[in-house]
Amino acid sequence: GAGVSQTPSNKVTEKGKYVELRCDPISGHTALYWYRQSLGQGPEFLIYFQGTGAADDSGLPNDRFFAVRPEGSVSTLKIQRTERGDSAVYLCASSDGAGVPYEQYFGPGTRLTVT
Amino acid sequence: AQSVSQHNHHVILSEAASLELGCNYSYGGTVNLFWYVQYPGQHLQLLLKYFSGDPLVKGIKGFEAEFIKSKFSFNLRKPSVQWSDTAEYFCAVNGMDSNYQLIWGAGTKLIIKP
């Protein structure tokens, strides 16, 4: 079946602009996660959704970052007033339950470059 | 805060060599441990995981890892690598505050020379 998909695959934007990154999880997966991966680092947790609600947004770096999942499927990560330090690969993952032993399945990521 | 250390950022081996990639974590309580792999141009995928029971875990493609609680380690091993094992390998842990939030190491880039 289809895996997790993310669009766009690449996004270049100017400092100060607003961007939206989209994640389509595996059909039926109730849990959805966003991670950010900077160059030379492992992924860093941003936010976790169980259904439509953000169960844990403790990883969002500041209030410029926001994510929604209005119908419990597709999620959008929104970044306002982008800064050069926001440049990274943004990864989305989904699982068919939360916690162990549910495996997180990852998408290909969106590479965001802020110029 | 919980952290994960992967000691080698780059490893270069010849085909048929044995592999061991180190992973150490900082939390002393109950943990769940994972190794993920990212092949060139592909997304992250699970290689193997440890939740409980036998500390020697076998994963896909001939990989295994051993959980040594006293050393806070979960090293990845493969007796004989192939060129197709060229990839980046990530160790991840959860357990301290959350059973879903993964804490990741910085990754090890493995290059296998044919």
Q: Where are the domains of chain B?
A: 4-113
Question: By percentage, how much of chain A surpasses pLDDT 70?
Answer: 96
Q: Which residue of B has its CA nearest to A102?
A: B100
Task: Give me the pLDDT at residue A102, please.
Answer: 76
In this structure, whether the domain defined by B4-113 belongs to CATH 3.90.550.10 is answered with no
Q: Where is A4: in which H helix or E strand?
A: none
pLDDT at B58 over 90: yes
Confidence bin at B52 (pLDDT 50/70/90): confident
Task: Give me the pLDDT at residue A103, please.
Answer: 84
In this structure, whether the domain defined by A5-98+105-110 belongs to CATH 2.60.40.10 is answered with yes
pLDDT at B66 over 80: yes
Contact between chains at B45 and A101 (C-beta distance less than 8 A): no
Among A108, A111, A77, A74, residue whose Cα is nearest residue A3: A108
Give Cβ neighbours of residue B102 (< 8 Å, ≥ 6 apart): A35, A43, A45, A104, B34, B92, B93, B94
Question: Which residues of chain A are at the B interface, by a Cβ-Cβ cutoff of 8 Å?
Answer: 3-4, 31, 33, 35, 40-45, 48, 56, 59, 91, 93, 95, 98-109
Q: What is the pLDDT of residues A38-78, one digit of tens each?
A: 998 999 999 999 999 988 999 999 999 999 999 999 999 99
Contact between chains at B51 and A101 (C-beta distance less than 8 A): yes
Task: Give me the pLDDT at residue B96, please.
Answer: 59
Q: Which residue of B has its CA nearest to A6?
A: B43
Q: Detail the DSSP E strand segments found in A28-109.
A: 31-37, 44-50, 53-56, 65-68, 75-79, 88-95, 105-106
Task: Give me the pLDDT at residue B11, please.
Answer: 97
Contact between chains at B102 and A45 (C-beta distance less than 8 A): yes
Residues from chain B that touch A100, judged by Cβ atoms under 8 A, are 32, 51, 94, 99-100
* Distance, CA of B49 to CA of B32 (rounded, Å): 7
- Cα A114 off chain centre by: 17
* Distance, CA of A12 to CA of A52 (rounded, Å): 29
CA distances from B108 to A76, A95, A103, B25, B55 (A): 30, 25, 21, 15, 22
pLDDT at A2 over 90: no
pLDDT at A1 over 60: no
Question: Which residues of chain B are at the A interface, by a Cβ-Cβ cutoff of 8 Å?
Answer: 4, 9, 32, 36, 42-46, 49, 51, 90, 92, 94, 98-107
* Distance, CA of A112 to CA of B7 (rounded, Å): 28
